[in-house]
Amino acid sequence: MAFRFLEDIATADVAFEAFGGTREELFISAAAALLRTMAAAPERVERRQELTIRLENQELDLLLWSFLQELIFYKDARRLLLHADTVRIEEREGGFSLESTLSGEQLSTDRHRLLVDVKAVTLHRLQVVYKDTIWKAVVVLDV
């Protein structure tokens, strides 16, 4: 999977770098990193429910921030662990819009090796950059 956890940022929290050949792939990788933070074996999260979310933001990094926040919201409000299956990002005058199809299932202490409850996505060192044909994001989660 196109992410790796970082050890030298924000001692008490969890930081990761995610990568993608496109912005959409980057967002899918970041969602995978978030799921891996909460569950040791994300591949065991079955795609039993599907939902679609739509978001807008003027900045691409803040769009990623809102996207990950949505996934955290569903973890608490609906007890859902979610994969991001598809992401579509459109650049419009003055900002970006996103549509994503998410799928997953209710979290289960029996079937999912749950790790840590993510409280929020921080803005600390949040970064989305395009360099050498690769999109890269740095994200710090409050846990």
Partner 1 sequence: MSLPPQLRKISDTVWELPVGYKEGMRVPARIIASESLLGGMEAGVFDQAANVACLPGIINYSYCMPDGHWGYGFPIGGVAAFDPTTGVISPGGIGFDINCGMRLCLTTLTEEEVRPRIHELVDQLFFAVPTGVGCTGFVRCSQSKFRRVIENGSRWCLENGLATPEDLEMTEEGGCFEGADADACSDKAIERGFDQIGTLGSGNHYCEIQVARPENIFDAATARAFGITTPNQVVIMFHCGSRGFGHQVATDYLQSFLKVMTTRYGIKLHDRELACAPFRSPEGQSYFAAMKCAANMGFANRQVILHRIREVFSRLFHRSPEDLGMHMVYDVAHNTAKLEKHLIDGELRELLVHRKGATRSFGPGMPGLPDCYRETGQPVIIGGSMETGSYLLAGMASAAPTFYTTAHGSGRTMSRHQAKKMVKGRTLLGEMEQRGIYVRTASYGGLAEEAGLAYKDIDLVARVTEEAGLSRRVAKLVPIGNIKG
Applying CB under 8 A, the residues found at the interface with partner 1 are 5, 7-14, 38-40, 62, 66, 69, 72-73, 75-77, 79, 107, 109, 113-117, 119-124, 126, 140, 142-143
Judged by CB, which is closer to partner 1: 21, or 79?
Answer: 79
Name the residue nearer to partner 1 (CB basis): 22 or 43.
Answer: 43
The distance of closest approach from Cβ of residue 114 to partner 1 in the complex, given in angstroms and rounded to an integer, is 4
Q: How far is the CB of 27 from partner 1 (least distance, A)?
A: 18
| CA-CA-CA-CA dihedral for 113, 5, 2, 27, to nearest 10 | 90
HEC per residue, 50-93? EEEEEEEECCHHHHHHHHHHHHHHHHHHCCEEEEEEEEEEEEEC
CB of 67 to partner 1, least distance (A): 13
CB 135 within 8 A of CB 28: no
